[in-house]
Each structure stands twice: as structure tokens, then as C-alpha cells.
Amino acid sequence: MPSHKNIKDGWFRETTALWPGQAMSLQVQEILHHEKSLFQDVLVFKSTNHGNVLVLDGVIQATEWDEFSYQEMIAHLPLMAHKNPKNILVIGGGDGGVLREIVKHPEVESVTLVEIDEAVIRVSKQFLPDMAKGFYHPKVTVVVGDGFKYLKDNVGAFDVIITDSSDPVGPADVLFGEGFYALMKKSLKTGGIVCTQGECQWLHLPLIKQVLESSRLLYPTVAYAWASVPTYPCGNMGFILCCNEEGRDLSRPLRIFPPEKEETRYYTAEVHAAAFVLPAFTRKGLGLPSK
């Protein structure tokens, strides 16, 4: 049986300097895949209770059990807040789950996914089929390459840009910098929205504050939202949304999925609005006025 440095006595344990002193553990039934790709350590294991689990550089990226809340929220928050999202860019997102959500919007005409690490796409297609089914939709184009370069080559091309990245260490570090937000802005059409994974308000308020403040220098509308994702640190994942149009209320969805179609398992119009309501300590830590 293959081994992995994070797996011991049948349990995977997630420890990193990004959340010192706490660790999520998941029980392992079987290691399905392990490789060192060109960019990172890629692990997929079958867990006892949470389906198959994708791990990059020792950090849980998605479990089949709870991935839907993250994928739905990072996709539907910006798409539902946009008046008419036709051309969408996803940077990262190599498991395909965000694609699966984006193509649920009939308004969408094209989705391009730019993932730097082909290994993530390859193993997701093999071991995370319910996420990777997004890759097979006719509106989807996949580019294996650098998101920075792709943005530079595609100015003014997108209604919505979603950055579904790993944490700001390793290959995703640059995706939290001001330069990246400036590039995304240039690649947006008028009224365009970007949505990036926004780390955890319980752990990373100074980082989040810094990203929000530098974004406000570039975008007239900036907001922070969050969702419950059990297998992310603290069970809590944030989203940073920026719009190049002034005075937009991104907490208000402009369309709804017909409830009877049950398109989503986490997202609803009510959940959309509630996701922008921040606890008192978050508002304080981000320098927002008390409410």
C-alpha cells in the first residue's frame, strides 16, 4: 500500500503553518493516488465517511462529501450578482467543481478554465467524477497554463472571473497580490465581477483586510462573504468579491434558480444575502463600522 507523510495509523492529518495548533483529520480507507507534480504534492484518498478526498501540498482541497457548499458559493455568488454573465474565466479550479456549477446558468455562453497543474485535472477526472463532469460540458474550454499570462492575453474579455485557488503558499501565493487583482480588472468587461477564495475569517483577518484594502484601490465595489465548509480550516471559507461598477450591492442576487429544479444543495437566494452578513469580530478586524 502506498504511504504519505500526512497519513498515520489510518488517518490523514492536515497540519500547516497557516493554522497552527489545529488539525483536521479524516479517516483513510485507501490511498488512491499520490504523485509529485511539477508544482505540488498531489494526493487522493478514499475516506471512510467523506468520499474521495483531494489533497494538495498536504492541504484538503475538496471532499466528495462537502465540496458542494464551496463550489456553489464561489460560482453562484458572482454569477447571480451579475446582470448577464456570458463569458466566464476560472483560474485554478482544476477539480472541475466550479465548472459544474457555472454551466447551470443558462445565460453563460463560454467558460474558460486556466489551471497551472495538469495533474489536478487528470486525477480529478479519474477520482472525483462528480466534480470533474464540469470539464465535459460543451461550453467549457480548458487551458493548462499560467493564469497571469492568460489574463494579460485576454483584456476586456470576461463578465465574471473566479479564482479557485489553494492557499497563499506555493503556486497560489501570487494570486493574493495586488498585481493579480489589477490584471483581473483589465480582463473584465464593464459591470464585471471577480470572486476569489477569501481564506478564513477566524484565522486570516489581517491577510483578508490587506487584500480587501488593496482591492478597494482598484475596484469601486468590494465585499466579503463566507460559507460553511466542514473540511476547510475552522469549517469556514470566505470569498472576496469585486465589481468594476460603482454602487453595486453584490449581496443581492439578480436572478434565482427555480427552487423546484433543485439545482443547488447549499446556495439559495436567501443564503446568498446571508453570506455577506459578517460577525462583529470580522467587521472589526476588517476595519468596517460596527452594526
CB of 13 to its own copies, least distance (A): 7
Q: Which residues contact 138 (CB under 8 A, 6 or more apart)?
A: none
Residues in 231-290 that interact with its own copies by CB under 8 A: 231, 233-236, 259-260, 262, 264-271, 273-274, 277-281, 283-284, 289-290
CA 142 to chain centre: 17
Site string for its own copies, 131-160 (x = CB under 8 A): ------------------------------
Q: Is 59 helix (H, G, I), strand (E, B) or coil?
A: strand
Question: 23 or 217, CB closer to its own copies?
Answer: 23
Strands (E), 48-157: 52-56, 59-63, 87-92, 110-115, 140-144
Binding test (CB under 8 A) with its own copies, winner from 226, 239, 240, 241: 226
Name the CA dihedral angle for 173, 232, 90, 125, rounded to a multiple of 10 degrees: 110
Asked whether position 217 contacts its own copies by CB under 8 A, the answer is: no
Picking from 75, 67, 88, 188, the residue whose alpha carbon sits closest to that of residue 140 is 88
CB 88 within 8 A of CB 110: yes
CB of 291 to its own copies, least distance (A): 5
CB of 286 to its own copies, least distance (A): 14
Residues assigned a catalytic role = 164
Binding test (CB under 8 A) with its own copies, winner from 13, 125, 133, 139: 13
Sign of CA dihedral 256, 163, 169, 131: positive
Contacts with its own copies by CB under 8 A lie at 11, 13, 20-27, 47-50, 66, 68-69, 202, 226, 228, 230-231, 233-236, 259-260, 262, 264-271, 273-274, 277-281, 283-284, 289-291
